[in-house]
Structure 1
Amino acid sequence: MRSNRRAAESKVPRTIAVIVAVCAVIATVLIVTRGGDDEASASPTPAGAAARGGSEQSGAAGYGHSSGVPHGTGAQEDAAADDPSGQTGSQPVTEVDKTFLVKVRQAGLWEIPAGRLAQTNASSEAVKRAGLHLMDGHSKLDQLVREDAKILGVAIPDEATAEQQGWVKQMENARGAEFDRLFANLLRSSHGKIFATIGEVRAATQNDLIRRHARQANQTVLDHLEVLEDTGLVDRATFTDVETAVTPQ
């Protein structure tokens, strides 16, 4: 009897221990489950909202390439900024717009060679520096004008005018101080006249591509005006000639 009683008494603590352990497991499961539900309710993110957010991010990332303007360089992003509708190519192109593109093209065709000549024929460091600015600025503009002309269907020349070719010939035959003065005055006169034309085109054009091109040309020509004037070699007669040319008659 005593052994049976002892066995029964020993089973009681074991049973109690098992019950306590089971209760502890159940309580833990309830706490974890409730905590997960609380987190879900605190930050509701529907699947639709997540998908919508992903599409908005991908759309923003591709915005710079959605303009529809088929530029092959960084010019495409500029065109997209000016014309997010992608309708640049269908906008009107006036005769003034076409003439503007032709003049920008012709300017590069003689001013880039003039800049090269400054590196070999000039004696003034300021003139050589101006020549480098011309080479860099007009190389970029020439690439831009060829792209824009192709998009807009405008025919542009492959050579400078006869007068411009004559100016290059004069500089080829000059050296030292003679070259310096000839270079500074010929280029300052040319840039002063085209600068006024750029302003007229920018003010009146209805085409976003031409408007962007005029802005770039304006910045480039202004830089060239300043470096040419910094040579200290531009004659008063050159300024007078430009003033006469740009003053409305």
Structure 2
Amino acid sequence: MRTLAVLAAVCAVIATVLIATRGSDGDASATQAPAGVAGQGYGQSAGAGYGYSSGTGHATGAQKDGAADEAGQAPAGPQPVTEIDKTFLVKVRQAGLWEIPAGRLAQTNASSEAVKRAGLHLLDGHSKLDQLVREDARILGVPIPDEATDEQQEWVRQLENARGAEFDRLFANVLRSSHGKIFATIAEVRAATQNDLIRRHARQANQTVLDHMEVLEDTGLVDSDTLAEVEKSVTPSQ
């Protein structure tokens, strides 16, 4: 009887050990990641590469365009270039064709340092604008002239024949008058154009012309008659 009791106790101990061992195995398996998840990187789903969600990649440009077409949205076409836009480019080109020579003449014919300084501003500003207008005209297919208007060429001839104080007064007033008139045109073009290149060009031209008007006024030689002429020219007719 004693032997049977010992055997029963041993069997009970063995059964308890087996139950405890199986419970530990179950707990360990429960903490393991499910199949297909092990080895993932930070922020990635199963099988996904960097920057992608599970099973989905970034759309390429062609895919985006196709999606837009399927949605019934037409791709953006060329932006319109109006007659006013074209005229604006022509005027900017013509301005550079005579104001750059005028700026050079100021360095040799002027007696006032303020006039010479204004001439340098004209040289710098219109050289940059002229490069820009030639680039934009080529992109937009707008023909631009290779020479200034007859009136502008006559102004250059007058400046060539003037010296000292006479040159200073002529330079300040003729240039201030022309800049005042084109300044009003730039505002109209910028307000109405639908073309991004023309908007950029008008913004640059606006800054350049404003700078030139200010340095011309700083000479102290601009007549009130000149300003009245500009006002009359830019005032809308009733």
Provide the TM-score with structure 2 as the length reference. Answer: 0.70
- State whether structure 2 residue 162 is matched by structure 1 residue 198: no
- State whether structure 2 residue 181 is matched by structure 1 residue 183: no
Q: Where in structure 1 are there 5+ consecutive unaligned residues?
A: 1-39, 57-85
Give secondary structure in 1 for the equivalent of 2:50: helix
> Following superposition of structure 1 onto structure 2, how do residues 87-236 of structure 1 map, counting pairs within 5 Å?
90-236=78-224
**Which residue in the other structure is 1:247 paired with?**
235
In the aligned structure 2, how far is the partner of 1:192 from the partner of 1:51? 55
* Deviation beyond 6 Å, 4+ runs, structure 1: none
CA 1:87/1:130 → structure 2, altered by over 3 Å: closer, same or farther? farther
CA 1:169/1:48 → structure 2, altered by over 3 Å: closer, same or farther? farther
Over aligned residues, Cα RMSD in angstroms?
A: 2.5
Give secondary structure in 1 for the equivalent of 2:220: coil
Aligned residue type for 2:147 = E
In the aligned structure 1, how far is the partner of 2:171 from the partner of 2:120? 13
**Bigger Rg, structure 1 or 2:** 2
In the aligned structure 2, how far is the partner of 1:209 from the partner of 1:171? 34
**Which residue in the other structure is 2:20 paired with?**
none
In the aligned structure 2, how far is the partner of 1:146 from the partner of 1:214? 14
CA 1:134/1:87 → structure 2, altered by over 3 Å: closer, same or farther? farther
Aligned residue type for 1:160 = A
Provide the TM-score with structure 1 as the length reference. Answer: 0.67
**Higher helix proportion:** 1
In the aligned structure 2, how far is the partner of 1:198 from the partner of 1:177? 31
* 1:200-246 deviations in Å (ceiling 9; x for gaps): 00001111111111011000000001000000000011000000000
Instruction: Note the C-alpha offset of 1:50.
Output: 3.2
Q: Where in structure 2 are there 5+ consecutive unaligned residues?
A: 1-37, 59-74
Give the % identical residues.
80
* 1:65-123 deviations in Å (ceiling 9; x for gaps): xxxxxxxxxxxxxxxxxxxxx968x1111110000000000000000000000011101
